[in-house]
Structure 1
Amino acid sequence: METQSLWEHTLTFFPQYLAALRERVAPDATVAVVGASDGKFVLPLAAAGYRVVAIERDALALRGGQVRLPGDSDAYAMGLIDRLELEELHARVEVIEGDFLEGEPLDMQCDAVWTSCSWHYSANHHHPLAEFVDRMQRLVRPGGVFGAEFMMPVEKRHHSVEHYTSPERLHRHFLGDWVVLLTLHTNEFTERAHVGRPHDHTHRMGLLLAARSHTLTDRF
């Protein structure tokens, strides 16, 4: 599905996550998207029949506004809320505006959770990566699916920041009630300039999919 997102053409492991959803949760399951941005993943999930909880703190991503594009040109970008109205998907999506890492963890459980390249942003470094992972895990009810794609270290400075991680390092967060279903990673690749990165740049990306046991131990 073309979403007209600012991030439409950035690389993603989202198809692997969708395959896990089709295999493991009901067709009308509830999926939480942490870092929903302007809807690159929210709209396809809602269009596929899922109920979506979209969690985002960026007012521009939610409501739209002027953005600086590569080449120093300005443009108006439509926000998630207007895009949902335009596509008539708003009834399937609950939008939660706020910082996912601030305050008490969200008091809800969903059938699945997903985040895309949110961990490495410097604004999220004031909380340990383990806390971010734990808060996401708490959203997943027994039998549900956890999915995250993330940036891996490329530059020397990345290796001193735990939020640039790897599938191997993440395994220690998925013990007990969890089983890791799939891990993948890319080699270094060049991504074209996009909003926030005005020049071509190099990335490595990883994916981890996990399932929560139907029988939980006491971990709260």
Structure 2
Amino acid sequence: MQTLSRWENTPTFFPQFRAALLEHVGSSATVVVIGASDGRLVLPLAAAGHRVIAIERDPVALQGGLVQLPDGTEAHAAGLVERLQQEQLDDRVDIVESDFLDADLPLAARYDAVWTSCSWHYSANHHRPLADFVTRMQDLVRIDGLFGAEFMMPVTARHYLSEHYTSPERLGPYFTDGWNIQLTLRTGQFTELPHIGQPHPHVHRMGALLATRTSSVTTERA
């Protein structure tokens, strides 16, 4: 992409999701991206020929605006709308400005794939159980479709007290009847450099889970 995302250097398992998308769904899938942010992972999907439904509620992420850099200065950050226009991809992406759990998406026409990147652990999402996010995502996936999520795993004592910092093992019970887990991944602890919203170096662990839906059986809420 010519227009860089503010999250351009953040580690991700997104390449593994894209490989699974091609293997299990195909090159012209409709993908729902939850927590689309400024489009770091939306634009590559649209550029590859996919139709994308991008769900995001942060107005700065969508429309752009001033953000505070780690050194305390301010700068303009391009939003999803601007970046799509600059890359001439806006005709391939439908933006839903809403909280994901309240978004008005027709379940009757389930989608080829869903993806989210490290959205559960944000404190703004802790007012709803993790089960709400996982099962809502599952509900959007058609039979033979793909579920993909990467997430922060616990590092500190505070993280271990929050279900929103999870692991592939803790997510596994959501993917029993009607699902096949295709891949689980995890990192060791690593130090991420300062970025917008976090002015100091900080330690993370990340995990990912990819699963395909095999039937319409409703998974028991774990």
TM-score (norm 1): 0.96
Code of the aligned partner of 2:139? R
CA change 1:197–1:55 in 2 (3 A) is same
**Aligned residue number for residue 11 of structure 1:** 11
What is the aligned residue count? Answer: 218
**Aligned residue number for residue 101 of structure 2:** 101
Code of the aligned partner of 2:105? L
> What does the per-residue CA deviation read over 1:179-219, in whole Å, with 9 as the maximum and x for residues that have no partner?
10000111100000000001110000000000001x32366
Report if aligned partners of 2:177, 2:218 keep a CA contact under 8 Å in 1.
no
Code of the aligned partner of 1:160? L
Q: Secondary structure at the match of 2:188?
A: coil
Q: Secondary structure at the match of 2:102?
A: coil
**Aligned residue number for residue 49 of structure 2:** 49
- The alpha-carbon deviation at position 149 of structure 1 amounts to 0.3
Q: Secondary structure at the match of 1:76?
A: strand
Report if aligned partners of 1:3, 1:43 keep a CA contact under 8 Å in 2.
no
* Pairing of 1:38-77 with structure 2 (within 5 A): 38-77=38-77
**Aligned residue number for residue 30 of structure 2:** 30
**Aligned residue number for residue 90 of structure 2:** 90
Cα distance between partner residues in 1 of 2:218 and 2:129: 22
- The alpha-carbon deviation at position 81 of structure 1 amounts to 0.5
Cα distance between partner residues in 2 of 1:84 and 1:165: 32
Code of the aligned partner of 2:122? Y
Report if aligned partners of 1:3, 1:44 keep a CA contact under 8 Å in 2.
no
Report if aligned partners of 1:101, 1:127 keep a CA contact under 8 Å in 2.
no
Q: Secondary structure at the match of 1:7?
A: coil
Q: CA RMSD in A?
A: 1.4
Cα distance between partner residues in 2 of 1:130 and 1:18: 25
**Aligned residue number for residue 198 of structure 1:** 199
Identity %: 61
Report if aligned partners of 2:174, 2:219 keep a CA contact under 8 Å in 1.
no
Stretches of 4+ aligned residues off by more than 3 angstroms: none
Instruction: Name structure 2 gaps, 5 residues minimum.
Output: none
- The alpha-carbon deviation at position 26 of structure 1 amounts to 2.4
- The alpha-carbon deviation at position 117 of structure 1 amounts to 0.3
**Matching of residue 182 in structure 1 with residue 183 in structure 2:** yes
TM-score (norm 2): 0.95
Q: Secondary structure at the match of 1:171?
A: helix
Cα distance between partner residues in 1 of 2:198 and 2:131: 27
